[in-house]
Amino acid sequence: MLTELQTRKLTKLFSMYDECCNGYLCKKDFEKIVKKLAGIRNWGLRSPRYLALMNQLDRDWKELNKIADTDHDQQVSINEWLHYYDVVLSDPQKYEQQVKMVMEMTFDVFNLGEEDGLNQQNWGLLLSAYHVSPVYVPLIFPTLDTAKSGIIKRDQMLQLIRDFFYSDEPDIPANSMFGPY
């Protein structure tokens, strides 16, 4: 069972994917996110990275739709979304395949390369692709960057993501990693 705090965080995540703000997730929402991510990174519509991202998000959508869309209307409602995560988060293997991988892929879009991490600017770019205003970033990033190195490394990011999905502690920084919820 999801806790109240988890439900709030997952509702926030839903709102980030609901690009057209109609209260449902559909294929178009995912396509728009790919276009935005690629636009921010200046990837051409025929570049290998764009096509790989498009493929990946298309697979993610199909997987989500197949499992979560229990009333088969080709869109995922908030209740379907929450039920989906209730199931996924209770199975470590599903978490690896359906949450961790997707999050890591998004991370890689903005990865600094050599450093294998994200700085504050890239974190802001990532959030803006999911229509979270970058005004939150100077408030959020320093609390996530506990080592004060200016960069959040991959391992750290994966731990933050895990805490975002699983933790029921009200005061940890990971809860706000995508802005207010």
Give the whole-angstrom CA distance, residue 33 versus residue 142.
Answer: 26
Window contacting Ca ion (CB under 5 A); options: 23-31, 106-114, 137-145, 161-169: 23-31
Window contacting Ca ion (CB under 5 A); options: 10-18, 35-43, 111-119, 162-170: 10-18
Give the whole-angstrom CA distance, residue 7 versus residue 144.
Answer: 21
**Is residue 145 part of the contact set for Ca ion (CB under 5 A)?**
no
Tell which one of 8, 11, 20, 150 touches Ca ion (CB under 5 A): 20
CB atoms within 10 A of CB 18: 19
Q: How far is the CB of 56 from Ca ion (least distance, A)?
A: 19
DSSP SS3 for 29: helix
Structure letter (DSSP) for residue 12: H
Q: How far is the CB of 103 from Ca ion (least distance, A)?
A: 20
**Is residue 22 part of the contact set for Ca ion (CB under 5 A)?**
yes
Structure letter (DSSP) for residue 136: G
- The residues in 47-86 that bind Ca ion, with binding defined as CB under 5 A, are 69, 71, 73
Task: Give the gyration radius of the chain's Cα atoms.
Answer: 16
Footprint on this chain of Ca ion (rule: CB under 5 A): 18, 20, 22, 24, 29, 69, 71, 73
